[in-house]
């Protein structure tokens, strides 16, 4: 599994990103994160090239509670690979990719609206 056991046990907006990590819920985390209905987890990939279908096993485990996952691809917008897009389609979970800054802002808006959203966010310097 590509998700570390370190986690924040709840949903929280992203307060800040950059310097290799994120701030949320009066805490900070260095590295990438995965935001799911069950909590915010440390996420293994450090670069876009490291993201594959296996990176989303925790997402697929919670697919019943998700309509959409926002993938923050780092400083630049990248398109997820065909295998990743196909896996999300088969799981009936939407996938939107954007740079990490836009992904944080979009996640916060959808979370505030009470939408069933998750986010997989690559850390940026």
Interval 52-108: pLDDT, tens: 999 999 999 999 999 999 999 999 999 999 999 999 999 999 999 999 999 999 999
Kindly state the average pLDDT of the residues 100-122: 98
% of the chain exceeding 70 in pLDDT: 95
Number of domains comprising the chain: 1
The pLDDT value given to residue 110: 98
The pLDDT value given to residue 2: 45
Task: Say if residue 5's pLDDT is above 80.
Answer: no
Range of the domain at 8: 3-121
Structure tokens at 76: 């630049």
* Alpha carbon separation from 114 to 23, 57, 111, 120 (Å, rounded): 20, 23, 5, 18
The pLDDT value given to residue 7: 82
Kindly state the average pLDDT of the residues 10-23: 96
Q: What confidence tier does 1 reach under pLDDT thresholds 50, 70, 90?
A: very low
Task: Say if residue 27's pLDDT is above 90.
Answer: yes
Higher pLDDT, 10 or 121: 121
The domain spanning residue 84 has which CATH number? 3.40.1230.10
Neighbours of 99 (CB within 10 A): 16
CA dihedral 44, 105, 116, 13 (to 10 degrees): 70
């Amino acid at each position: 599994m590509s998700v570390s056991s370190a986690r924040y046990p709840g949903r929280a907006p992203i307060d800040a990103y950059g310097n290799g990590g994120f701030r949320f819920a009066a805490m900070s985390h260095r590295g990438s994160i995965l935001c799911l209905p069950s909590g915010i987890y440390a996420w293994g990939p450090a670069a876009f090239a490291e993201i594959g279908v296996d990176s989303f096993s925790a997402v697929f485990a919670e697919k019943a509670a998700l309509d959409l996952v926002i993938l923050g691809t780092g400083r630049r917008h990248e398109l997820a690979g065909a295998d990743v897009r196909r896996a999300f389609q088969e799981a009936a979970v939407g996938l939107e990719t954007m740079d990490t800054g836009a992904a944080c802002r979009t996640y916060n808006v959808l979370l505030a609206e009470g939408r069933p959203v998750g986010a997989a966010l690559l850390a940026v310097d």
